A and B are shown apart, each in its own frame.
Chain A
Amino acid sequence: MTDEVVRLENISKIYPLLSGDVLALNNISLSIKTGEFVAIIGPSGSGKSTLLNQLGCLDVPTSGDLKIGGKSITQMSDSELTHLRLIMIGFIFQKFNLLPLLSAYENVEYPYTLKYRKRDTSGRVTKLLDMVGINEDLAKHKPSELSGGQQQRVAIARSLVNNPKILLCDEPTGNLDSKTGVLVMNMLKKLNSKGKTLIIVTHDPGIAAQADRTITIRDGELVADVVNNQ
């Protein structure tokens, strides 16, 4: 039996505003197993990003329980949530979100130094960069000196450096041309085939079709959870 890596039990998220409370997520329950490839789709404002923020431990639900790697995060402190993000979750953003002050190599190495409190001497960073097709020369460049595709590949390498169980991707091909988008998706699918749990938030039905499972969110509610036939 495959392990359960994410479990949501009746979670709701309410944002209190002066004009009245906004129910962003309404009583959502779902479970994601290790090694699954899940696509989360839905129209703008449906609550996809809010769900992704909960899954990424960037926010905690107002009610219900959310377990990541078997641990409930709802009562965790900010410091514990941050540590969980560091060791369990790899983020891949639409806008790449590399640190502009650091070189490509240092961007990948950064989470490693946070986790191990030392620079990488094992060659892991170089190996990961090599795996995503960034050579030693390109690795010395700052993000602003790289193309969008190269930046996203560096971001993928960064997300993998601490060997997380979950890869959370927010529109990972949204800022790439179609050819580079295909390359990036192939790379992510390859990682999934090696056992990484892949959760992608997307508007692109083509990407959602490649997933094992598609979850549809509308008005903060889970309206469909479909296993795709490949």
Chain B
Amino acid sequence: MKDIIFAMAVRNVKINILRSILAAIGITIGIISIASMGMLGTNMTASVTDSLSSMADKLSVSPYSGKGGGGGPPGMSGDSDNLTKKQFKDIEKIAGKYGYVYGVHNVRAKVKKGSDEWSTQVYGLETDAMRTILDNLTAGGYPSTDNSVLIGPTFASDNDMEVGSRFSVGGSGVKVSGIIESRGMTMDLNTDSAIVMTKDMYESLFGAKDEYNQANIVLEDINDADAVTTALESQMNRREETIRVQDSSRMVSMISSSVTTITSFASLIASISLLVAAVSIFNIMMMSVTERIREIGVLRSIGTQKKEILRMFVYEATLIGIIGATLGMILSIIMGYFFILIMVGSTKYFFTYDSLIHLPYAMVVGLIICIFSGLYPAWRGAQMDPIEALRAE
């Protein structure tokens, strides 16, 4: 080896290999914790963003009730206020050039099947909107008669219903014409546990002719969300607050940001394990210096400079760090992969740049902590009086 100081550091690590590995394991655990938490955060954020992105292109406009905003999709609040026919036409006029605008009636209504009675969400849509928005049915077809409805998959399975099943809603008998494919949680219509009927049928059962609870806009370009919101608010809320616009992309970014905050906090907690590792490295390096006091005395007496003694011990700490970091990186990939598979349910984003960048990041942090932990013991070794050191047994 070219640098004899480095060679001596390597040999000392080799001679005390068990002790060095035990110290390195501390760093390994720290790196696994930080990298795994980081990767978990990235994968979770990506997964949540991906799940929510399908609804990020939607805006919902509801009448301003003066009750303030709240969580959840508009229309789910049970608000009795409706958009007037004129308001809906204005919305269509302003937002129509940015995407598809459709009106939504909704109410929680009593449903009865046999002796069972419960309440559920009922939506009323134009047939055209029904075909456009609910474009996938798992069974049956769209309502063709006045008393046929679509039902969500959860509603169907929870109540043992299929195409052709009959029940009553709002006191009127209906027949299931089709079952909507699961859409999960969306910002516009939550149809999985709901009944969807035509606008005409809804208005004949629940009234509110041409007065929708909300207007939904499906944007052609997601980047137009701010422009449409501004246009609607500036034109329709000019004199007084008449409508409330909910931009689902804001909610998506808010949720993503919350996930990131939670995982960042978890990473911070995980980094405590690196502090424990730092104490372990510090202890090992202090032991190494104490055991080699006489050797330090010999080295100094035959012409080794203080900075070379310092370098030797820093090399040693760095080597322990490299062993720990390399081991940590390999195990982080393996454990992180399974950890994310279990926690997130998918490793679709595992091998992406944003996910894997946590590995070198954790390695560098681990290595720096290792070097810093070795600095004080190394400095102490370097500062030793050669005469005193030569006397040591």
For B8, the closest partner residue in chain A by CB is A101
Chain A residues within an 8 Å CB radius of B210: none
Whether A97 contacts B390 in the complex (CB less than 8 A), given A106-B4, A110-B4, comes out as yes
Interface residues of A in 90-139 (CB under 8 A from B): 91, 93, 97-102, 106, 109-111, 113-115, 119
Q: Does B306 contact A (CB under 8 A)?
A: yes
A90 nearest CB across to chain B (Å): 8
CB distance from B65 to the nearest CB of A (A): 80
Q: How large is the interface on B (under 10, 10 to 19, 20 to 34, 35 or more residues)?
A: 20 to 34
The verdict on A79 contacting chain B, using a C-beta distance below 8 Å, is: yes
Minimum CB–CB distance from A51 to chain B (whole Å) comes to 12
- Measured between beta carbons, the chain A residues less than 8 angstroms from B12 are 101
- Secondary structure at the B interface, as helix, strand, loop or mixed, is helix
Q: Does A44 contact B (CB under 8 A)?
A: no
With contacts A99-B8, A102-B8, A119-B2 taken as known, whether A56 is within 8 angstroms of B301 at the C-beta atoms is yes
Q: Which of A80-88, A172-180, A196-204, A217-225 contacts B (4 or more CB under 8 A)?
A: A80-88
Chain A binding site: helix, strand, loop or mixed by DSSP?
A: helix
Residues of B near A98 (CB, < 8 A) are: 298
- Residue count of chain A within 8 Å CB distance of chain B: 29
A56 contact set on B, CB distance < 8 A: 301
Chain B: CB-nearest residue to A49: B387
Closest to A109 in B: B4
Q: How near does chain A come to B155, taking the closest CB pair, in angstroms?
A: 76
Report the minimal beta-carbon distance from B284 to chain A, rounded to whole angstroms: 17
Q: Which of A59, A82, A158, A162 contacts B305 (CB 8 A)?
A: A82
A100 touches B295 (CB 8 A): yes
A58-B295 contact in complex given A79-B305, A82-B304, A102-B8, C-beta closer than 8 Å: no
Do the beta carbons of A158 and B4 come within 8 Å of each other? Answer: no
Q: 15 additional contacts, CB 8 Å, given A58-B390, A114-B4?
A: A59-B387, A78-B306, A79-B305, A82-B304, A86-B303, A91-B301, A97-B297, A99-B8, A101-B295, A102-B4, A110-B4, A110-B302, A114-B302, A114-B308, A162-B303
Write 26 A-B pairs (CB below 8 A) sorted by A numbering. A56-B301, A58-B300, A58-B386, A58-B387, A78-B306, A79-B306, A82-B300, A82-B304, A82-B306, A85-B301, A85-B302, A85-B303, A87-B303, A93-B298, A97-B294, A97-B390, A98-B298, A99-B295, A101-B11, A102-B8, A102-B11, A106-B4, A110-B4, A111-B303, A114-B302, A114-B304
B interface vs A, CB < 8 Å?
2, 4, 7-8, 11-12, 15, 294-295, 297-306, 308, 386-387, 390
